[in-house]
Amino acid sequence: MCPQTVRNEAPSDDKRWKIINATMRRNGDDSHALIETLHSVQETFGYLDDVALSYVAKSLRTPLSRVYGVATFYHFFTLKPQGEHSCVVCTGTACHIKGAQALLSAIKGSFGVAPGETTADNKLSVISARCIGSCGLAPAVVIDGNVMGNLSPQTLVARVEREIG
């Protein structure tokens, strides 16, 4: 019988920490599981805050500096909470030459947010992506997880307005 690993107490009694614990356990509670665990935290809570990073560091017996290093090295992880709706504008090569910049300018013009920013009312986060692999539909945008292609600045703005109500 393997001795049961003594688990650190979760930062709060939020049930969602069980999901994070399960991810760590599945990967042997080892520092190798760091990226998988951060994915799990972000998927569950939407972003990585200090509390979560410290908890993960302690649980995986990994220096906090390394956890922070990994969380900031990879573009996919965000340390800031995101808005209710997300608009990911692809800036891959195909989208670039077919007008992704015009889409970003239109968003900036209509909603006042640039990539990496969230509107003051917390409704909309705008993100620019390297390439979402929908090059056949360039320029493409992902609004709340739904990919949309062949967009003009006008249709995109109209679409976002409809989404955020």
Determine the length of the chain. Answer: 165
In the set 32, 64, 144, 158, which binds other proteins (CB under 8 A)?
32
- 134 sits near other proteins (criterion: CB under 8 A): yes
Return the structure tokens found at 95. 């989208």
Tell me, what DSSP letter sits at residue 75?
T
Q: How far apart are CA 23 and CA 42, in angstroms?
A: 12
User: Which parts of 68-127 interact with other proteins (CB under 8 A)?
Assistant: 69-70, 73-77, 91-94, 96-98, 101, 104-105, 108, 114-115
- 160 sits near other proteins (criterion: CB under 8 A): no
The residue among 155, 26, 29, 10 whose CA lies nearest residue 87 is 155
In the complex, what is the shortest distance from the CB of residue 43 to other proteins, in angstroms, rounded to a whole number?
10
- 135 sits near other proteins (criterion: CB under 8 A): yes
Q: How far apart are CA 86 and CA 122, in angstroms?
A: 10
In the set 10, 82, 86, 137, which binds other proteins (CB under 8 A)?
137
Which of these ranges, 10-18, 46-54, 146-154, 157-165, lies near other proteins under the rule CB under 8 A? Answer: 146-154
The residue among 46, 45, 47 whose CA lies nearest residue 18 is 45
Q: How far apart are CA 103 and CA 99, in angstroms?
A: 7
Q: Which residues bind other proteins (CB under 8 A)?
A: 30-36, 38-39, 66, 69-70, 73-77, 91-94, 96-98, 101, 104-105, 108, 114-115, 128-138, 140, 146-149
